[in-house]
Chain A
């Protein structure tokens, strides 16, 4: 009688342990997947920011803008490009879970584009029918939209990671390991209506 009780208890404990092990491994894998999603979204954002800065620089150098506007855009675009080459996200120790403090530079580029390219100026530039100018305007607009999309999707992925990481089981068993807690990326990316793709 006693023997049977011990056997039952052992079986029960083993089953509970297996279930717990499954749950923890499953949660860890899920967290891993969510971290990977954040990293992917961050790299999409990074790529579009580079394209936006390159297109803006090309527009500034096209000669179609007045020298003041051109210099303003060129300055902001170069600052953005410098930051990306100095700190490529692929070499980021934090595995693409952080934006590396680039928010200010990107906000500045948005502000410069908005200041130098109000709707009537854009209409005037498009009316020139210069292929290079139209093309770089289109590319600024297209990458500007994609920056907004990528940032929105990235921040949503961050929210999901943070929600799972706030769970008690995840905190207690340290399921996140040494992965950095991803932060939402917040900068001004609102381009004027005429530059809306």
Chain B
């Protein structure tokens, strides 16, 4: 199948949507499909062969946050050229509501059946409301909508009044399943180890909650250790924390993907004390795949990933007491930890790219079948015909 994918965010900056597009594209390439990805990029050198740049990204403030996007006549020309050269059987746009390459590809697309994946940024926006009459005919070109989570789906219902099918984010489960435990990170019955992953200085990742919960843990297991991995400066939080907790905390800083997998495979319990703003919870899937017993806040996205709490322990979001209690319960019960590990590894398979990509392919096939099943439309002829039958931006 010839697949054209468009990512709205700068390709050379790490981010959830970019990784999603990259992994999906590479998965399809490995299966023998033809894939071409269009996205903004600063440098054209060193980018993969399947990649085409839509132009240099510009940092702009849109809908309350700064994003690096491309727009303007240069992007428009590049998008049109890319579409014409690609002869795609299906066009897969990611986050098409951002003013960037994906929206422009939707605008410029002609005959290709269009699939759109909505990640998280569909939120109430004045721009979206104001531009409805302009965008609506282009949006009607979308034949299949995918949401990556329940939350993304609910937002689309609310703000775009559109239905969507949920296909979760994928994880390279094998990478985490085959991770080897590292001895220095493994806990013992007297000195169990706990792991926290994520930016230390971003409050919504919840390191503060974990540090407060550690006090209760140390009361029963004085030699327990909390291993903290991730970018950011933890010193501010540690300065205000209980000295006992500070002594038991090891800050590992930024770790490689491989070390992250090993860390998750080594520790007794993985903590996800996030306070909100998570639309999916990929790190939970990674933890389950690596075989960690998971304790997570009861955010809607996390509850989904943990199958309603069947494959991990949920606690009241933001409550250090509840987290401490949950951790102590798990540490006292090795048998339950073993069950959770097994259930978690099983659950993680649902999110494997193999499974996820098959579903995406089923979406492609369904929209292509729909496009073929349409009665033939008259081809617009003459100026009036083109004016009447054209969708703004081009195409039919």
> A residues within 8 Å of B by Cβ?
22, 25-26, 29-30, 32-34, 36-37, 39-44, 47-48, 95, 142, 145-146, 148-150, 152-157, 159-160, 163, 197
- Given B137, B144, B384, which contacts A149 in the complex, CB threshold below 8 Å? B144
A79 → chain B closest CB, angstroms: 24
Decide if B374 touches A153 in the complex (CB within 8 Å): no
Contacts known (A149-B362, A153-B367); A33 close to B165, Cβ less than 8 A: no
A135 → chain B closest CB, angstroms: 16
Decide if A37 touches B143 in the complex (CB within 8 Å): yes
Contacts known (A30-B137, A145-B359, A146-B365); A37 close to B370, Cβ less than 8 A: yes
B381 → chain A closest CB, angstroms: 13
| Contact residues in B for A34 (Cβ distance below 8 Å) | 140
Mask: chain B, 42-58; 1 = CB below 8 Å from A; 0 = not: 00000000000000000
B149 → chain A closest CB, angstroms: 16
| Contact residues in A for B73 (Cβ distance below 8 Å) | none
A44 → chain B closest CB, angstroms: 4
- Given A25, A41, A145, which contacts B373 in the complex, CB threshold below 8 Å? A41
Mask: chain B, 136-171; 1 = CB below 8 Å from A; 0 = not: 010010011100000000000000011111000000
| Contact residues in B for A37 (Cβ distance below 8 Å) | 140, 143, 370, 374
Decide if B366 touches A44 in the complex (CB within 8 Å): yes
A190 → chain B closest CB, angstroms: 13
**B127 CB–A CB distance under 8 Å:** no
| Contact residues in B for A150 (Cβ distance below 8 Å) | 366, 369-370
**B372 CB–A CB distance under 8 Å:** yes
Q: List 12 A-B contacts (CB under 8 A).
A: A25-B384, A29-B388, A32-B377, A33-B140, A36-B377, A37-B140, A44-B369, A146-B366, A149-B363, A155-B163, A159-B162, A197-B358
Decide if B388 touches A22 in the complex (CB within 8 Å): yes
- Given A33, A43, A157, A163, which contacts B377 in the complex, CB threshold below 8 Å? A33
The 4 A-B residue pairs with the shortest CB-CB distance, nearest first, are A43-B373, A40-B374, A44-B369, A40-B373
| Contact residues in B for A47 (Cβ distance below 8 Å) | 369, 373
In the complex, the chain B residue whose C-beta lies closest to that of A26 is B388
Most buried by A among B161, B369, B373: B373
| Contact residues in B for A149 (Cβ distance below 8 Å) | 144, 165, 362-363, 366
B370 → chain A closest CB, angstroms: 4
Decide if A43 touches B367 in the complex (CB within 8 Å): no
| Contact residues in A for B387 (Cβ distance below 8 Å) | 22, 26
Decide if A42 touches B373 in the complex (CB within 8 Å): yes
> B residues within 8 Å of A by Cβ?
137, 140, 143-145, 161-165, 358-359, 362-363, 365-367, 369-375, 377, 384, 387-389, 391, 396
Decide if B377 touches A41 in the complex (CB within 8 Å): no
Task: Provide the bound-state CA to CA distance between A35 and B363, in Å.
Answer: 20
A20 → chain B closest CB, angstroms: 13
Decide if B388 touches A25 in the complex (CB within 8 Å): yes
Task: Provide the bound-state CA to CA distance between A42 and B145, in Å.
Answer: 16
Decide if A43 touches B369 in the complex (CB within 8 Å): yes
| Contact residues in A for B365 (Cβ distance below 8 Å) | 146
Task: Provide the bound-state CA to CA distance between A154 and B145, in Å.
Answer: 11
Task: Provide the bound-state CA to CA distance between A26 and B387, in Å.
Answer: 8
Decide if B165 touches A41 in the complex (CB within 8 Å): no
Contacts known (A32-B377, A39-B375, A142-B362); A44 close to B388, Cβ less than 8 A: no
Decide if B358 touches A41 in the complex (CB within 8 Å): no
| Contact residues in B for A160 (Cβ distance below 8 Å) | 140
- Given B162, B375, B389, which contacts A29 in the complex, CB threshold below 8 Å? B389
| Contact residues in A for B373 (Cβ distance below 8 Å) | 39-44, 47
- Given A36, A43, A156, which contacts B145 in the complex, CB threshold below 8 Å? A156
A162 → chain B closest CB, angstroms: 11
Decide if B370 touches A43 in the complex (CB within 8 Å): yes
| Contact residues in A for B140 (Cβ distance below 8 Å) | 30, 33-34, 37, 160
Most buried by A among B140, B164, B371: B140
Task: Provide the bound-state CA to CA distance between A34 and B140, in Å.
Answer: 8
Most buried by B among A43, A47, A148, A150: A150
Task: Provide the bound-state CA to CA distance between A29 and B164, in Å.
Answer: 25
| Contact residues in B for A152 (Cβ distance below 8 Å) | 163-165
| Contact residues in B for A163 (Cβ distance below 8 Å) | 161
Task: Provide the bound-state CA to CA distance between A153 and B377, in Å.
Answer: 20
Decide if A40 touches B370 in the complex (CB within 8 Å): yes
A86 → chain B closest CB, angstroms: 20
In the complex, the chain A residue whose C-beta lies closest to that of B364 is A149
Task: Provide the bound-state CA to CA distance between A16 and B396, in Å.
Answer: 25
Decide if A36 touches B374 in the complex (CB within 8 Å): yes
Task: Provide the bound-state CA to CA distance between A197 and B165, in Å.
Answer: 14
Decide if A197 touches B375 in the complex (CB within 8 Å): no
Q: A41-B370, A43-B370, A146-B366 are known; give 12 further A-B pairs, CB within 8 A.
A: A29-B389, A30-B137, A33-B377, A40-B369, A40-B371, A40-B373, A40-B374, A43-B374, A95-B375, A152-B163, A153-B145, A153-B367
A87 → chain B closest CB, angstroms: 16
